[in-house]
Structure 1
């Protein structure tokens, strides 16, 4: 097996990086599933709701289970099997008839596409030397964002001119990722040899008080962060921004991640954990909280830039935190627990923020976001010192 940091490990990491980019490029995302359902007249409104719900459930459940599978069967085998199955599922979707069949396949296909995230994170300690792990997690995060940024440019024309093409894209990218994953080295599967069951892997991260706190903090920050798709578009529309301005502001975050990640992550790697975690939470809180004062596209763009830097800091830092506190052979379960809490926050945060915005107004919403986020930042410092 290649040692972390040697030439073989570097080549394997490049293959993993490319595979994660392809994974995000071909992911079945809600906006294009909605467009597909509309173009193909798949069950009307009920069909659209079913497809979007299936996508969210598949992603959330797989992010938790994928890490446990990676511990029990190895990250390489987990990625290869999930991507081969995902390729078959995506290839079958255009042949399916009826909203029930398509929804079931989308659920399975989205789950297969979401399994590699915790499994890939579990590979980083195998492929990267100890001092470079945050950089490695940052590069995988970068790959996911590049793939997500390219996806609309590819999936949009496919839905318009050949709707089944989005599933063909998913099948091709999944198959290629499976091929790339074959070159990955094996990783320890101590949990399986020691007799740790599947549910033990699900529970284990929550049994450590420090890790449990970090997971709660992740859930809170995710709920706040999700306002970019929840209350933020409503707020900008209420302030008179045009659809074009709204789209440009919302797209800025993805552009900044692609541009700034290679600069920000090495800086984070040199910071003490408590300081970096607290600063990340504070930037997310202050950036979103400052939305209360925004009334022009430039103002909104400035707030987006602040909370995006917080996001760039948070993702690789969190992955490294979970890896360092996971017992040998349980890295995948810990990575999966983090991904699960983040996705759970994404699912709950947007509707909660929209409800608060409609019920009590923008000032209360953004002030609440700032207070909660700053509280997380302060508690990060207190918990780490103890």
Structure 2
């Protein structure tokens, strides 16, 4: 047991554990928005359509917040972004608890969506900052486990509180967020390494074209840069023109291929909360049956996720992702033949195992592909796949299920298998890119920054 604990959770710095604890507390308390539609229809007299629009405003805010959080975490700092976004979220929840006007609630929902999503890129960027590369797999695995454990506890507690008082729901949520704010402000130092002087950063053209060439090849192109000898730069070092970090991430082809494949995974997993309930109802199964399927997936993650690092250790990441995405494809594709609860349960086991296997390598690859100085911005683009999937999955999936019936699940399975093949094909290019980013001298030197794809201006 001691050896297993060491392999699963050993060797991680104290700052990581404070971040992990803050994430767990925040997830356990983050349940008010889960019941927002019920609160609006039950306590505020909103119609189902209006409640859907308000919840949609929260989701739209989340898409904005994840990008804003990445930009702030790279420029302002990880700690500052985490502290102030959590504080704003707690205050927003307190105001929402006592607001009765539906238009004001809609505006508040959008603003809360922004501040709720802002910490995501900063959390992950801070973890990458403090955890050595060889231990990141276990760190990300524990992060995924804490997130799901917290969500499971939140769902249980929310059900109890909602029966008593919706006001209590919002107040406890705000309280948990304030506790997280205090913990981070007290125990988490700033992890962003800053360079002296006003510096802007850019990833050279070579990294957008792929990692097969030397990192310095693109820095000598005509008109690409200028020379400087100021603080933090080596004499004669070639310096690139300013380019916004988000543009760099969005034009990084190797990274965006990975993001696209992750988007397919997100669309598949989102089926469980959007389209699958409709399919189960069409099969004559009750809401309680749907709850059993969801609870089984959560229980598997809580009980089994800690064993995943040992299971996948030593395997190449793109192979693990191909297998995991293939399992998701098989699990959701099997729903085309499901009309009884046991079949749904077996399918849920298959796709949950796929999700569990995918979590550590997905986070690791995302961390490896990002230049250190644009780390949080890359995280924000990656995280954008999840609100995008939350929109696309129900918007297209509902129409697909209505008109195509069981063929919807066949198409979903085929899409997953195509993504699995995509990981197999894209894996070698990703590994070449990571080799370029790792090559050279220690990461604090100007030469290493150039090699890693980021040079100061």
TM-score by length of 1: 0.92
Paired with 2:316 and 2:94, the residues of 1 have a C-alpha distance of 47
Structure 1: gaps (5+ residues)? 1-6
| 2:332 paired residue among 277, 288, 293 | 288
**Which one is further off, 117-126 or 26-35?**
26-35
Paired with 2:243 and 2:52, the residues of 1 have a C-alpha distance of 30
Q: Is the 8 A contact 2:55 2:109 kept in 1?
A: no
- Structure index of larger Rg: 2
| 1:186 paired residue among 186, 190, 197 | 190
| 2:396 paired residue among 346, 352, 364 | 352
Matches within 5 A, 1:365-376: 365-376=408-419
Secondary structure, aligned partner of 2:371 = coil
User: Can you list the C-alpha shifts for 1:184-210, whole angstroms capped at 9, x where unaligned?
Assistant: 122225599522599823222222221
What is the CA distance between 1:377 and its match in structure 2?
0.8
What is the CA distance between 1:240 and its match in structure 2?
2.5
Paired with 2:198 and 2:29, the residues of 1 have a C-alpha distance of 35
Who is 2:95 aligned against?
A: 92
| 2:67 paired residue among 64, 69, 72 | 64
2:47 is aligned with 1:44: yes
Secondary structure, aligned partner of 2:13 = helix
What is the CA distance between 1:373 and its match in structure 2?
0.8
Paired with 2:279 and 2:53, the residues of 1 have a C-alpha distance of 27
Query: CA separation of 1:109/1:170 partners in 2, compared to 1, >3 Å: closer, same or farther?
Result: farther
Secondary structure, aligned partner of 2:95 = helix
Who is 1:249 aligned against?
A: 293
Query: CA separation of 1:269/1:209 partners in 2, compared to 1, >3 Å: closer, same or farther?
Result: farther
What is the CA distance between 1:152 and its match in structure 2?
1.9
Paired with 1:373 and 1:56, the residues of 2 have a C-alpha distance of 25
Paired with 2:176 and 2:60, the residues of 1 have a C-alpha distance of 21
Q: Is the 8 A contact 1:286 1:307 kept in 2?
A: yes
Secondary structure, aligned partner of 2:26 = helix
User: Can you list the C-alpha shifts for 1:124-156, whole angstroms capped at 9, x where unaligned?
Assistant: 122222111021111111111111111122222
What is the CA distance between 1:249 and its match in structure 2?
1.1
Secondary structure, aligned partner of 1:172 = helix
Q: Is the 8 A contact 2:44 2:102 kept in 1?
A: no
User: Can you list the C-alpha shifts for 1:163-201, whole angstroms capped at 9, x where unaligned?
Assistant: 112221221111111111121122225599522599823
Paired with 1:206 and 1:89, the residues of 2 have a C-alpha distance of 31
Q: Is the 8 A contact 1:23 1:113 kept in 2?
A: no
2:208 is aligned with 1:203: no
- Structure number with the bigger relative contact order (C-alpha 8 A, sep ≥ 6) is 1
Secondary structure, aligned partner of 1:329 = helix
Paired with 1:199 and 1:43, the residues of 2 have a C-alpha distance of 45
| 1:158 paired residue among 138, 144, 161 | 161
**Which one is further off, 180-189 or 23-32?**
23-32
2:143 is aligned with 1:140: yes
What is the CA distance between 1:374 and its match in structure 2?
0.7
2:159 is aligned with 1:168: no
TM-score by length of 2: 0.78
Who is 1:3 aligned against?
A: none
Who is 1:76 aligned against?
A: 79
Q: Is the 8 A contact 2:268 2:416 kept in 1?
A: yes
What is the CA distance between 1:309 and its match in structure 2?
1.3
Give the length in aligned residue pairs.
Answer: 379
Who is 1:381 aligned against?
A: 424
What is the CA distance between 1:35 and its match in structure 2?
1.6
Query: CA separation of 1:46/1:303 partners in 2, compared to 1, >3 Å: closer, same or farther?
Result: closer
Query: CA separation of 1:104/1:269 partners in 2, compared to 1, >3 Å: closer, same or farther?
Result: farther
User: Can you list the C-alpha shifts for 1:8-28, whole angstroms capped at 9, x where unaligned?
Assistant: 963222211111112222325
What is the CA distance between 1:60 and its match in structure 2?
2.2
User: More helix per residue: 1 or 2?
Assistant: 1
Query: CA separation of 1:126/1:132 partners in 2, compared to 1, >3 Å: closer, same or farther?
Result: same
Secondary structure, aligned partner of 1:96 = coil
Secondary structure, aligned partner of 1:270 = coil
Structure 2: gaps (5+ residues)? 1-9, 203-241, 430-457
Q: Is the 8 A contact 1:135 1:266 kept in 2?
A: no
Query: CA separation of 1:77/1:199 partners in 2, compared to 1, >3 Å: closer, same or farther?
Result: farther
What is the CA distance between 1:348 and its match in structure 2?
0.8
CA RMSD across the alignment: 2.3
2:284 is aligned with 1:279: no
Paired with 2:180 and 2:142, the residues of 1 have a C-alpha distance of 17
2:329 is aligned with 1:326: no
Paired with 1:349 and 1:292, the residues of 2 have a C-alpha distance of 17
What is the CA distance between 1:323 and its match in structure 2?
1.0
Who is 2:360 aligned against?
A: 316
